[in-house]
Amino acid sequence: MGNNDWKHARIGKQYNFCASHKLTGVPDYHPCAKLHGHNYMVEVEVRGEVSPVTGFIVDFAFIDGAFKPLIAKLDHSHLNDTLENPTAENIAQWLMDNHKPHFIWSVKVWETPKCWAEVVNPDGLWKKQERIE
């Protein structure tokens, strides 16, 4: 790697899934208390040290290995079967809690093109000693 002045970076990956849900934490008259669905987009971000060997923080394929099974579980499902109250915040937290190994900085769930929720793991910095080369 030519310039060793920088050592940290951020990378991201997007996933999509379609699912139905109804919110259980709202009054019965709330529109989201009724069964409905969304075309969700999920953005995951990794922050950490750039490897002088590979030139990246972590391989995008490694992120896929952690997240594709979770996205597959949610895709074309009824989210209430997985989460008690499947708000965008709770979906993002479920994804953050269930990926292995825990290395993601943030998970953002877009419920619509204008509405999203994000959870952040401040201890999620990918460190050199944890890197898989």
pLDDT digits (tens, 9 = 90+) for 40-93: 999 999 998 898 888 989 999 999 999 999 999 999 999 999 999 999 999 999
Q: Where are the beta strands (DSSP E) in 50-104?
A: 77-78
Which domains are seen in the chain, by residue range? Answer: 8-130 (3.30.479.10)
pTM of the full predicted structure?
A: 0.88
Structure tokens at 29: 């008259």
pLDDT digits (tens, 9 = 90+) for 92-126: 999 999 998 888 899 999 999 999 999 998 776 65
**Measured distance CA(94)–CA(83) in Å, rounded:** 8
**Measured distance CA(84)–CA(90) in Å, rounded:** 9
Active site residues: 32, 76, 111
Identity of the amino acid at 16: N
